[in-house]
A and B are shown apart, each in its own frame.
Chain A
C-alpha cells in the first residue's frame, strides 16, 4: 500500500519480509525499493522459473512475464515453477497463479506473446529492470537493444549443456558511468546452427536453477542498491568441472547503439541480423527432397540399394537408431567421401531439421543431387513404424 506517496507495509508483509528487514545493509529501505519496483522477466522457462520464484518471494512489487508458449512435459525437468497440472496451459498464466499463491502482496502482469521488434519497446517501457531468460540469439539482441534504447538495466544469463554465463548489462553505477551491453560483449551473433539451442543440445536441469538464481540476486541488488552489481564483469560457470571465472568486459567504441558513432536508433529485424532469413541471392538454392517414413520402410523391405546416413550425435544414436551410418552434423564434411553419389541416400536426424541443413550444405558445396531428407526424422519412425523405439 502507498500512503501519501510513501510505501507502507501491512503487518503481514512486515512478518513475511522480516529476514530482509533485519539485514543491516538491506532493511526496510531496501524492501521499499523492491516493493515500488517493476521488473520484466522475458521467458518463463528454465532461467525464468527460479528467477520469478525468488523475485516474487522477495517482494518485488510488480513483475511482468513475457512468454508465448504453453507448459510441456519436457519443461518439468528444470522449469520448477510448473507441475503436471499445468501441462498445456500458457506458461504466463500458470506462472501467475503459482506466484500469486506464493505472494499475494505483489502484482503479476502476464504478457502472453512473443517479444518482437513491434512490441518490445511498448512492453519494456513500463518496467525498471529487465531480466532476460530467453533461449535464442534474435531475442537476446532484441532485448538488449530495446533496453539500451530505453535506458533499462538488462540482467542477463544464458546456459548451454553444463555451462552458464551471467552479467548485468547497461547498468549505470553510482558515479553515473554506464556499463557495457550485449553488443559490447558479442558484436555479432554466431551463424545459425553453430551453437545449438538447449532443445537440440540439451541442458543439465539444475543449471538454469543456478544461473536464474544468480539473475534474481543481481536484480535485487540493482533495485535495492545493495552491493556491487555484476556490471562490466562476465561470470562463467561450468557445472561439469566446477570451474568458475569472472572476466572483465568493457564498452566498445564501435557499439552501433551507444559507441562513438551510433548508427542504430531503433529496433531492427533480428531474425535477419542473426542469419535466419536467406538473402535473395540464395533463392535459387536447390530444394531439399524428402521421403516419409513409410516410403523408407518400403525401400528397406524390398532391399533397395540405398544408403542411410544418420547426422545425429553418437549418444543420440545409442538411444535409438535405424542402422544408419553415423556422421554427426558437425563432422559430415570429413565423412563426405563415404556418402554415395549414385545411390539414393536417405539422411535423417531426430526431427528432420539438422538433416535438412546437412542436405542443403552438401548440395551446395559438393553438388549432391541424390540426397533425401527423412520427414520427421527418427521421431516419426518411432511414432509410425516402430512404436517400441524409445523417443527423446
Chain B
C-alpha cells in the first residue's frame, strides 16, 4: 500500500482522515482508489475532462509528478503521495 496525505480543505470529503492508504500502481490508479473510497473528492480533484485541476498539485515524496511521468508516474509500496491545494488565508 501507499499513503496519500489529505490536506485540510479536502478532509471534509474523507471523513476527516488526514491520511488514507491506497493501492500502489500509477499515480492515477492510486488516486482513483482514493476517489472510489471517497467519491465526493473526485470532482474537486479532476475537471470534466478528467484532468487534474489547476489549483491542486500532486507530489510523490518531494517531487511534483509533473516533473516525473505525470499521472502515469509509478507509485511503489510505502510511497507517500501529497495532495497540495492552494490555500489563501493570512489575516
Contacts and interface: CB of A to CB of B under 8 A. Distances in A.
Contact of A186 (B7, B59, B86, B91): B86
Contacts of A292: none
Interface in A241-289: 241, 243, 245-250, 252
> How many residues of B sit at the interface, in one of the four size bands?
20 to 34
Contacts of A159: 87, 89-90
Interface in B65-91: 66-67, 82, 84-91
B18 interface: yes
Given A135-B88, A137-B88, A189-B86, A250 B8 contact: no
Interface in A21-75: 43, 45-48, 69, 75
A203 interface: yes
A79 B91 CA distance: 8
Contacts of B89: 46, 135, 158-160, 197-198, 201, 203
A245 B18 CA distance: 14
Given A187-B54, A247-B59, A248-B67, A195 B88 contact: yes
A360 interface: no
Contacts of B87: 158-160, 163, 165, 195
Nearest to A137: B88
B63 interface: yes
A246 B91 contact: no
Contacts of A158: 86-90
Nearest to A246: B62
Interface string A180-223: 00000111111000111111010100001000000000000000
A248 B44 CA distance: 23
Interface string A155-169: 001111111010000
A313 B13 CA distance: 13
A140 interface: yes
A188 B55 contact: yes
Interface in B34-72: 40, 44, 53-55, 57, 59, 62-64, 66-67
Interface of A: 43, 45-48, 69, 75, 79, 132-137, 139-140, 157-163, 165, 185-190, 194-199, 201, 203, 208, 234, 236, 238, 240-241, 243, 245-250, 252, 328, 330-331, 334
Interface of B: 5, 7-9, 12-13, 18, 40, 44, 53-55, 57, 59, 62-64, 66-67, 82, 84-91
Nearest 8 A/B pairs, CB to CB: A45-B91, A188-B54, A135-B91, A198-B89, A160-B87, A187-B54, A190-B55, A186-B86
